[in-house]
């Protein structure tokens, strides 16, 4: 187990540059994701087994016990897919969420991971971000021919269907989860250069009928178009908790949990250290629909990223146990992410 979890943390700086060298490429660049590594002095085997058992017990009351695996991290693994699945099982997870940041990641490596999960009877969902899939436009005609043109979410749906058709009958995708994030469409990331982009997200344009509000509404329509093109593959919306908060404050008119009633599910991404309070507040708005909470786990150095803070493995398990006990009647599932950060904590020496 200790040897299996040897994964590098840092990404070679040259990797991002290589993505821009292909002239005329119209694919979405792979978004870089931090990877975990084995601690300098790993814990003893008995300690690792005790920790894994504690997390299994904490998660056991939940119907959905998911874990997120960024595909850009998985590609640099030292583990085969079958070994990844052993770790998933050891920690008590029963559903795998594979984050892809580019359609190029719909390939043989992902196919192998999905097939290995099917052999363990663990369903797999793809997870994508709205901000990773958008058409981009800048520069003159000559410059644009050398820059990637990002695919939009409805375009990606057709490629997901094609990928799903290549999977064995017993290993089809269980669904797709797309993160709702129109707040990324700002001038800072070139949103004003996207063709057809009329509105720009800004701290100055909060309010019903203003740009931020219109961007939220337009994004919902894009998600509906994607759902229609997925040809029956369930589509769940991953909703950052800041949107319901903005709606409650009157800053937006779209972005409540109830606004996504037409989709196959809603997940609430908890960006702080008290996810139980957030989930309890949103379940009433969900009506009869079940919410699944997504809880990012922060690494030791994180001070600004919205995620669950923890000092050690025991601290993490206490937080997960409290979340489950206080929300399980209203929240039947949770997704912890990323697996490689959780694995790092699992192997830390006490």
CB-neighbour burial class of residue 162 (10 A; exposed 0-12, middle 13-18, buried 19+): exposed
In this structure, the number of other CB atoms found within 10 A of the CB of residue 251 comes to 18
pLDDT at 212 over 50: yes
Which band of pLDDT confidence, cut at 50, 70 and 90, is reported for residue 10?
A: very low
Mean local confidence (pLDDT), 220-244: 94
Cα–Cα dist 151/169, whole Å: 28
* CATH architecture for the domain at 14-347: Alpha-Beta Barrel (3.20)
Which band of pLDDT confidence, cut at 50, 70 and 90, is reported for residue 348?
A: confident
pLDDT at 346 over 80: yes
Cα–Cα dist 48/38, whole Å: 13
Nearest to 332 by CA among 66, 8, 123, 127: 66
Instruction: Please tell me the predicted confidence (pLDDT) of residue 2.
Output: 45
Instruction: Please tell me the predicted confidence (pLDDT) of residue 140.
Output: 58
Cα–Cα dist 238/280, whole Å: 17
Alpha helices in the chain (DSSP H): 14-18, 45-59, 71-74, 81-90, 108-119, 141-144, 153-165, 211-229, 242-248, 275-286, 313-327, 339-347
Please indicate whether residue 285 or residue 209 has the higher confidence score (pLDDT).
Answer: 209
Question: β-strands 291-296, 265-269: how paired?
Answer: parallel
Instruction: Please tell me the predicted confidence (pLDDT) of residue 96.
Output: 96
* Mean pLDDT estimate for the chain: 80
pLDDT at 210 over 60: yes
Q: Tokens 């960006």 sit at which residue?
A: 271
Please indicate whether residue 77 or residue 31 has the higher confidence score (pLDDT).
Answer: 31
Tokens at 142, concatenated? 């000559």
Which range, 96-100, 149-153, 318-322, is most confident? Answer: 96-100
φ/ψ of residue 332, rounded to 5: -80, 0
311, 299 Cβ separation under 8 angstroms: no
Which segment of 40-44, 99-103, 149-153, 254-258 scores lowest on mean pLDDT?
Answer: 149-153
Which band of pLDDT confidence, cut at 50, 70 and 90, is reported for residue 120?
A: very high
Which segment of 115-124, 204-213, 291-300 scores lowest on mean pLDDT?
Answer: 291-300
331, 283 Cβ separation under 8 angstroms: yes
The reported pTM is 0.84
Tokens at 239, concatenated? 């909703």
123, 167 Cβ separation under 8 angstroms: no
Instruction: Please tell me the predicted confidence (pLDDT) of residue 176.
Output: 98
Nearest to 328 by CA among 291, 274, 281: 291
The residues near 11 (Cβ < 8 Å, ≥ 6 apart) are 32, 33, 34, 35, 76
Please indicate whether residue 36 or residue 306 has the higher confidence score (pLDDT).
Answer: 306
């Amino acid at each position: 187990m200790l040897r299996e979890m040897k994964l590098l943390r840092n990404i070679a700086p040259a990797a991002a540059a290589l993505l821009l060298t292909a002239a005329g490429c119209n694919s979405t660049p792979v978004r870089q994701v931090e990877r975990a590594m084995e601690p300098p002095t790993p814990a003893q085997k008995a300690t690792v087994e005790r920790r894994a058992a504690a997390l299994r017990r904490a998660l056991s009351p939940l119907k959905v016990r998911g874990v997120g695996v960024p595909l850009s991290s998985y590609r640099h693994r030292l583990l085969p897919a079958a070994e990844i699945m052993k770790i998933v099982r050891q920690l008590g997870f029963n559903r795998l969420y594979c984050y892809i940041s580019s359609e190029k990641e719909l390939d043989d490596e992902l196919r192998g991971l999905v097939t290995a999960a099917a052999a363990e009877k663990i369903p797999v969902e793809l997870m994508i971000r709205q901000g990773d899939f958008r058409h981009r436009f800048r520069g003159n005609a000559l410059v644009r021919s050398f820059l990637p043109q990002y695919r939009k979410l409805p375009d990606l749906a057709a490629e997901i269907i094609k990928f799903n058709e290549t999977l064995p009958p017993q290993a089809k995708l269980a669904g797709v989860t797309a993160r709702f994030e129109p707040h990324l469409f700002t001038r800072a990331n070139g949103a004003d250069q996207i063709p057809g982009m009329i509105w720009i997200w800004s701290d100055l344009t909060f309010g019903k009928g203003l740009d931020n509000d219109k961007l939220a509404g337009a994004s919902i329509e894009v998600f509906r178009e994607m759902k229609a093109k997925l040809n029956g593959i369930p589509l769940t919306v991953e909703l950052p908790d800041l949107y319901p908060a903005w709606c409650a404050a009157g800053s937006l008119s779209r972005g409540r949990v109830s606004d996504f009633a037409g989709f196959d599910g809603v997940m609430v991404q908890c960006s702080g250290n008290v996810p139980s309070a957030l989930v309890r507040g949103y379940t009433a708005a969900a009506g009869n629909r079940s919410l699944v909470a997504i809880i990012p786990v922060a690494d030791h150095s994180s001070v600004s990223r919205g995620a669950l803070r923890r000092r050690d493995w025991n601290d993490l398990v206490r937080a997960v146990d409290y979340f489950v006990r206080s929300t399980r009647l209203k929240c039947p599932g949770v997704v912890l992410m990323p697996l490689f950060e959780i694995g790092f904590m699992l192997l830390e020496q006490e």
